[in-house]
Amino acid sequence: MRVRHQIRTRVRMDNRQPSPWQRFRSKVRDEGPLHAALVALNSLVPRSLLDIRVWVVASTELSGFADAEFPDVGVCWAVVTKDGGFDALDEATVSIEDSLARGELASVIERDGRVVGFETFAAGVFVKEDWLRFALRDDEVYGIRIFVVPEYRGQDLAVWIASFAYREFARMGYRRDYGVTDVLNRRSLRAHAKARHWPVGRIAYGRCCGFTVIRIGRRVRAGFWSADNPLVIDFSTFDDS
């Protein structure tokens, strides 16, 4: 299992922030107009008041990666450095540090001496929302997020990031990797497809003032769930998909 114990990278020092209009245009271009509109709506209406989501559930069978051999493309596991920090680029810094602090794993890829992409993973129980938990079996892992900085996209880096992690997880005895992404987020759907995450079903819910109706595959449940009384679900519904 290859682990880079200390990754020192250059942090981008550009402090200029895009305007709200620029951020919206970027989301429309990268993620699609419907997803951008939904994100804009959620910024205006608190999710505690109204929240509607449809997720695509994707899965990867890991056994086929156990004996895979890859060229040295700069992919490794991320770990916290001795001084407690992890230096990377902008958004990657916060996501990787937060994941490691929660006991999760992150596979990262380096280009030009800096981390330019990552995928984070969790095992056991993953907190998807404050009221929703994903319970994973002992041989399952959950792919939380794939990210590549914009200027390095289009080089199939997500493929290398995911493939490295799949091989290592398969060698650890894990059987399957799951992940979910918003059905309207085109960029995320493309990243999952490149990472060989194949759709196996959907999870959809509507939540208003704490009352939730959720459909998991073909099963429908309803109730009041919260951080103190969360709904815990697993992916067994999608086993035969």
pLDDT score for 214: 97
User: What are the pLDDT digits (tens) for 113-150?
Assistant: 788 889 999 999 999 999 999 999 999 999 998 888 88
Instruction: Please report whether residue 59 resides in a domain.
Output: yes
Residue with tokens 């998909």: 241
The alpha-helical segments, DSSP class H, found in 45-127 are 90-101
* CA dist., res. 220 & res. 16, Å (int): 46
Q: Is the dihedral of CA 218, 221, 225, 230 positive or negative?
A: negative
Cut 0.85: pTM above it = no
Domain count, the chain: 1
Q: Higher confidence at residue 96 or residue 168?
A: 168
Whether 15 is covered by a domain: the verdict is no
Q: Which of 48-52, 79-83, 131-135, 236-240 ranks highest by mean pLDDT?
A: 131-135
Phi, psi of 72 (to 5 degrees): -75, 100
Give the 3-state secondary structure of residue 139: coil
What is the structure's pLDDT at 179? 93
Q: Could you tell me if residue 10 is inside a domain? A: no
CATH number of residue 130's parent domain: 3.40.630
Distance CA 61, CA 238 (A): 13
Integer Cα distance of 20 and 34 in angstroms = 17
Does residue 162 carry a pLDDT above 80? yes
Please report whether residue 4 resides in a domain: no
Q: Give the confidence band of 88 by pLDDT, cuts at 50, 70, 90.
A: very low
Q: In this predicted structure, what is the pLDDT of residue 19?
A: 64
* Residue 192 falls inside a structural domain: yes
pLDDT in the model for residue 22: 58
Residue 103, in any domain of the structure: yes
Strand 198-208 to strand 50-61: parallel, antiparallel, or no bridges (unpaired)? antiparallel
Strand 125-129 versus strand 132-135 pairing type: antiparallel
Choose the weakest-confidence range: 26-35, 136-145, 150-159. 26-35
Structural domain including 167 reads: 20-238
Is the residue at 154 inside a domain?
yes
Residue 89 has pLDDT above 50, yes or no: no
Other CB atoms closer than 10 Å to residue 67's CB: what's the count? 9
Question: For position 200, what pLDDT does the model report?
Answer: 93
Give, as one character, the DSSP assignment of residue 37.
H
For residue range 40-74, what is the model confidence (pLDDT) as tens digits?
A: 666 677 777 889 899 999 999 999 899 988 788 88
227 within some domain: yes
Torsion sign (Cα): 152, 156, 159, 160 = negative
